[in-house]
Structure 1
């Protein structure tokens, strides 16, 4: 199975590093990376498989993906040419999320699907804005689109429900979906102000280039929409999510939560009531009896209420590029096994 990677930023590079670490397993599974396309650092193609370790070494020296132009590698001038002309089986999309337009990920994904290629994506924005269009197009073309990496980074959610809960209906979803916000609130519990906690997050390179996408709840809202559509079959969009981020959370609010025997968390919720739909992203005080109250730092997690076996909670201790890259690999192995 030949893989074309679009985007080699933090997540794309972590995915490549993971391919290096798991090279023996991937070789046994006949999975190889044949193309890498970037917006400004070049594109390369090798129909026999790219030496990923060599590519990363040259990229770290030169800053260019296309510095590796030996061992059968061809330099491609245009990323659109990669989508259109080279031979591959699966597109792995690691392009940055644009929460306004969902581009270029949407166009890249649709073009790959129309060529009859499977797609694995980490792009939260594109999947939240164009979920129905993308999935309908994939159904028509008879290909798979997998997107485990879009919501809980490396922690299984969609695969858990798909493979582990067949026949279950999800009646309610609650989640801590943004690791940056959870980290900031955890730091504030130690006595830091919001501004101090945000600066610490940026200093350590742990937030997005535009941190307000996280802080104002936009990324969490996009993830919540994907969950509502994928796991609950709801016809909802971003405009239907009631969003309040953590920008105005004070140390006083953190202390009030402690006095009330709980913790303040940015909680996503989707709940189907008798005659209403509740879909929100808000700072909420969780009692210490709530499974998600114990998630600290960059941990993320979800609590699902099912109609057959009650509540199920999943959580992961990290939500960075390394964890996200594992979900991409898991989806890739899932495709190979089908």
Structure 2
């Protein structure tokens, strides 16, 4: 797959960041044959030029929809984005739609349309995978295609690849992690004297929290990531609904600052533990809880950093720390998947 034809569904912050990174010398070669948003799709049989991609990204940044841009492109606009995927016949479909933690939403529909057209899949949206893991992965196997989704956990950090490599002949028995940058950001602000409501408003003003913050502060986002982590790096099925979730709304400013004075930090820590089975695959239990961690711990992050600590049976611990959120970081992970699939190596499925 020297220069694959790709179709990108979703042109929000991550999608626009990806279009910008595709211009960099370090990016893998590809031809963007189709782009979709909620209004439909633009197609280009020859592949969009850099100038055209810049024009589309600039228009999307101002809130325009692809439906308003169709007249300016030779191959035009299609109102039915799913049919447009089949028409463009991409070799790779890159799914960047907003996450729907109830089961995938548009992401799942785009994925199945891509598979029907013969495309391999790259996901940044965690909802389709966490909500319908068996359905999506079974569809990939039936179609004989490949699947990558490293951006779903840890943003720009190669969490899934590192964990999968670490687990070879060395089972991972537990994982502790900070997987939601919004929660780390809010708790960091609370350490400076704010209460939860003040810190949440400040995070929203800084673009670090959504207008509806429930997915982040109530643990749904982190739970979806824990579900994917358990399946990929531990080989353990784990439904999002089975994960115990604590809410950041219960954090008091006094508790946050009391922990800091004691040389600790209060953080929303996700934990997965392997539950051995006498026969068949092991299972896992998982939770997301507010807990104090030692200030010198890998989990004592600030700002919007993420951290993951894999505890293995034979080789001790492996800790990864880095930026787990941000459009550019997430887009970089998508391009990493594109480079890996273009080279013909290491699909997750």
User: When the two structures are superposed, what TM-score results if normalisation uses the length of structure 1?
Assistant: 0.92
Q: What is the CA–CA distance in structure 2 between the aligned matches of 1:85 and 1:189, rounded to whole Å?
A: 53
Matched, 1:190 2:192: yes
Extract unaligned runs of 5+ from structure 2. Answer: 278-282, 345-349
- Equivalent residues of 2:167, 2:234 under 8 A apart: no
Deviation at 1:208, TM superposition (A): 2.4
Partner of 1:121: 123
* Contact 2:153 2:160 survives alignment (8 Å): no
* 2:317 maps to 1:316: no
Q: Which of these residues, 3, 8, 27, is aligned with residue 5 of structure 1?
A: 8
Equivalence for 1:325: 331
1:171-223 Cα shifts (integer Å, max 9, x gaps): 11111000001000000001111111000011122212421111111111111
Deviation track 1:53-85 (CA, whole Å, cap 9, x = no partner) reads 232234456823352645644222211111222
Q: Distance in 2 between matches of 1:227 and 1:62?
A: 34
Change in CA separation of 1:69 and 1:56 when aligned onto 2, cut-off 3 Å? farther
Q: 1:49 offset after TM fit, Å?
A: 1.1
User: Does residue 45 of structure 2 align to residue 47 of structure 1?
Assistant: yes
RMSD of aligned residue pairs (Cα, Å): 2.0
Q: Secondary structure at the match of 1:292?
A: coil
* Contact 1:184–1:201 (Cα < 8 Å) also in 2: yes
8 Å CA contact 2:173, 2:273 repeated in 1: yes
Q: Shift in Å at residue 260 of structure 1?
A: 3.4
Q: Does 1:210 align with 2:217?
A: no
Kindly indicate whether residue 278 of structure 2 is the aligned counterpart of residue 278 of structure 1. no
How far apart in 2 are the matches of 1:262 and 1:148? 31
- Flag the 1:259–1:274 CA change in 2: closer, same or farther, 3 A: farther
> Residues of 1 paired with 2:16 and 2:193: CA distance?
35
**Once structures 1 and 2 are overlaid, which stretch shifts more, 183-192 or 271-280?**
271-280
Say if 1:114 and 1:137, in contact at 8 Å, map to a contact too: no
Unaligned runs of 5+ in 1: none
How far apart are the structure 2 equivalents of 1:17 and 1:46? 18
Give the Cα–Cα distance (whole angstroms) in 1 for the partners of residues 302 and 202 of structure 2. 16
The alignment of Structure 1 onto Structure 2 pairs a total of residues equal to 332
Identify which range, 170-179 or 57-66, moves more after superposition.
57-66
Instruction: Name the CA distance, whole Å, in 1 between partners of 2:62 and 2:110.
Output: 29
Alpha-carbon distance in structure 2 between the residues aligned to 1:205 and 1:234:
35
Relative distance call for 1:71 and 1:104 in structure 2 (3 A) is closer
| Alpha-carbon distance in 2 for matches of 1:25, 1:54 | 22
**Cα deviation digits, residues 275-313 of structure 1 (max 9, x gap):** 7843101111111342111x1111112000122321011
Q: Distance in 2 between matches of 1:30 and 1:204?
A: 34
Task: Check the 8 A contact 1:292/1:301 in 2, yes or no.
Answer: yes
The separation in 2 between residues aligned to 1:62 and 1:138, in whole angstroms, is 33
Q: CA 1:35/1:192 → structure 2, altered by over 3 Å: closer, same or farther?
A: same
- Report the Cα offset of residue 151 of structure 1: 1.3
Corresponding residue for residue 141 of structure 2: 139
Match of 2:299 in 1: 292
Instruction: Tell me the secondary structure at the aligned position of residue 299 of structure 2.
Output: helix
Which range is displaced more, 186-195 or 317-326? 317-326
Distance 1:103 1:64 in 2: 19
Alignment TM-score, normalising by the size of structure 2: 0.89
- For 2:41 and 2:210, the matched residues in 1 are separated by 25
Change in Cα spacing, 1:195 to 1:336, as seen in structure 2 (3 Å) is: same
